[in-house]
Structure 1
Amino acid sequence: MSPFICRLSQTIPRFGEAVFHHEAGEPLAFHLLPTHSQQLSGPLLLVAEAAPWQPGRAPQVIGEVRSQSGQVEVPSAQAIQMLAALQKGLLPTFSAGRWFGTPEALSISISSVNFQSAYEDYLACVAQLLPVNYRQVARTAVLFPSAEYRLSDATRERLDLIALYVKTDESVQQIFVDGHSDNVGRRLLNRDLSMRRAEEVTRYLVSLGIDEEMIVTRYHGDRYPVVPNNTAENRTRNRRVTIRLERE
């Protein structure tokens, strides 16, 4: 099991692979991956069909999906419906009107045989996924009110997530913390304020168990605005500390 990603896959004979894919911080996704990309084209109807041992059970239409570059990605809501169907012993089935570009129809079913034991392992994996992934925390900016350097509750919550991720992902080797200010007031005072902001962030990360030697703390005053300091809204965006993670 991984705290970063969980997969539940099934090989479909003479076709390819069906994969439920759940990444930390992201919704569930499903991918239908044919061995040959030319097998599928155009729209496909996705229906949960009754298994041969369920005579008389009505099929359930899940929706229409499309193939792209020969692969099919099913949106999260429909992927969840597919899992629910498999739990009931139904067979999520994709029906395509064209196979290898010919008028011949094609149906691809995902089997529910032995699904339950694999699904229990999958659920155990999902239960220990991190709440965020690397892309979601690798570049972060936290904002400050004018002339303030203390951390808000929202900033602390964001830093909590960053620290949790860093302590789990051993490939993160360095954290760059950079303090900034708007251009209101004297330049030296702004530089000092940006230093206090950066140091406050660093201090909080260290209090959460991050090794201080991983952190490079810098401060820049008003030298590097992210937007022009010509409106109150823009000045708010410039009063910031950025946190950047670097992997090995």
Structure 2
Amino acid sequence: MKNRPVLTAASVALLLFTAQGQANSVRHYSANLDNSAWQMSEENRLTCEMEHKIPRYGKVFFQSEASKELNLRMKMEMRQLPDGYGVSAIESVPPRWQPGESSYRIGSMKLYKQFDGELRKQLAWTLLKELEKGRYPTFFYSDWYNNRDQVAVSLSSVNFRNAYDEFMTCVNALLPFSFDDIAYTVLNHEAESEKLTLTSQRKLKQISDYLQVDSNLELVLVDAYTDSLGAREPNQALTEQRAQEIEQFFIERGIDKTRIKTVGHGEDRPIKSNDNELNRQINRRVIVQLTKPSPIEL
């Protein structure tokens, strides 16, 4: 005799909703075959975002950002924010046209008073993979406005795959570094040469790539320094020239000149003593700083 499938809270809620059109004590929110829509809401080399509307409930967003590491977060934007603290169970529920399949638990999400729900990393990826399989990740929690009710919120896999393919194509094209990785960058020159070291050339290319896709940057500051060998005036002129070369590098790649400010400091402000070549190489540097506008205070 075959074992009967175990009915979880998720499958019971779904069966009740299917058989009666509504659950007796479970309010179920989910897009149906007619209104289930997934779409890209942001798509560039800095951010990939895919959204899904849940009628009468809110929206769900999956977002990945440029970074050294692959990342993902899911944000559940609720029309009515929690009025207390709790935990939502998450189960993977089969669609109605697969009656022989069982539901299973995949995790939980903490609920915070007056905050949207959020999942990060592994669990957010798990939800995407369950959707890719055609299943319905469903969130179950007690209603904070009516303690007699349970709430079930399902992400529909209907019309998911095309948007998912676009999303993953976008994720694979994200820059492999973030703003924080290049916001303050020190470039060094080779000994007795105007040429940047190979490491510094790679860093400069990264900054250039970032500047081309982020139009929200307020200013690019380029500060150049040298060691104390030679006379002061030629050293001052040398740092001004090096700063201007970096500026020209950015301009040639389409960066507006008005967004760039250069300063040559000559041999002032050494960070090491100039008594050996290693220290002098450290002092021969160009610092590139990127700044963003301050958040508007309400």
| Pair in the same fold by TM > 0.5 | yes
Among 89, 107, 111, the residue aligned to 1:67: 111
Once the two structures are overlaid, the 10-residue window that deviates more, 154-163 or 59-68, is 59-68
Q: Partner of 1:38: helix, strand, or coil?
A: coil
Which position in structure 2 is the counterpart of 1:21?
Answer: 63
CA distance in 2, matches of 1:155, 1:101: 60
In the TM superposition, what is the alpha-carbon distance from 1:195 to its structure 2 partner? 4.6
CA distance in 1, matches of 2:149, 2:268: 65
Asked if structure 2 preserves the Cα contact closer than 8 Å seen for 1:49 and 1:60, the reply is yes
Which position in structure 2 is the counterpart of 1:141?
Answer: 185
Q: AA paired with 1:63?
A: G
1:5 partnered with 2:47: yes
Once the two structures are overlaid, the 10-residue window that deviates more, 199-208 or 117-126, is 199-208
Q: How many pairs were matched up?
A: 243
Which whole-Å deviations, capped at 9, do the CAs of 1:51-95 have from their partners, x for residues lacking one?
Answer: 222223233433222123331110122111111100101111122
Pair member with larger Rg = 2
Among 36, 43, 58, the residue aligned to 2:87: 43
Structure 1 residues 178 and 112, CA, compared in 2 at 3 Å: closer, same or farther? same
Unmatched tracts of structure 1, length 5 or more: none
Asked if structure 2 preserves the Cα contact closer than 8 Å seen for 1:40 and 1:71, the reply is no
CA distance in 2, matches of 1:237, 1:20: 43
TM-score by length of 2: 0.64
Identity, % of aligned pairs? 29
Structure 1 residues 207 and 112, CA, compared in 2 at 3 Å: closer, same or farther? same
Which position in structure 2 is the counterpart of 1:108?
Answer: 153
Which whole-Å deviations, capped at 9, do the CAs of 1:81-127 have from their partners, x for residues lacking one?
Answer: 11110010111112224533736432211111111222233334434
Q: AA paired with 1:158?
A: K
In the TM superposition, what is the alpha-carbon distance from 1:237 to its structure 2 partner? 7.9
CA distance in 2, matches of 1:121, 1:6: 9
Which position in structure 1 is the counterpart of 2:131?
Answer: 86
CA distance in 2, matches of 1:62, 1:236: 54
1:163 partnered with 2:208: yes
Unmatched tracts of structure 2, length 5 or more: 1-41, 274-278, 294-298
CA distance in 1, matches of 2:76, 2:49: 13
Structure 1 residues 100 and 143, CA, compared in 2 at 3 Å: closer, same or farther? farther
1:242 partnered with 2:287: yes
In the TM superposition, what is the alpha-carbon distance from 1:159 to its structure 2 partner? 1.4
In the TM superposition, what is the alpha-carbon distance from 1:48 to its structure 2 partner? 1.8
CA distance in 2, matches of 1:135, 1:80: 24
Q: Partner of 2:82: helix, strand, or coil?
A: helix
Structure 1 residues 246 and 38, CA, compared in 2 at 3 Å: closer, same or farther? closer
Structure 1 residues 100 and 175, CA, compared in 2 at 3 Å: closer, same or farther? same
Which whole-Å deviations, capped at 9, do the CAs of 1:170-208 have from their partners, x for residues lacking one?
Answer: 5557532112458x7789387567556535544654565
CA distance in 2, matches of 1:211, 1:181: 27
Among 32, 49, 52, the residue aligned to 2:76: 32
In the TM superposition, what is the alpha-carbon distance from 1:18 to its structure 2 partner? 1.0
Which position in structure 2 is the counterpart of 1:153?
Answer: 198
Please report the RMSD computed on the Cα atoms of aligned residues, expressed in angstroms: 3.9
Correspondence 1:217-236 to 2 at 5 A: 217-221=262-266, 223-224=268-269
In the TM superposition, what is the alpha-carbon distance from 1:30 to its structure 2 partner? 0.5
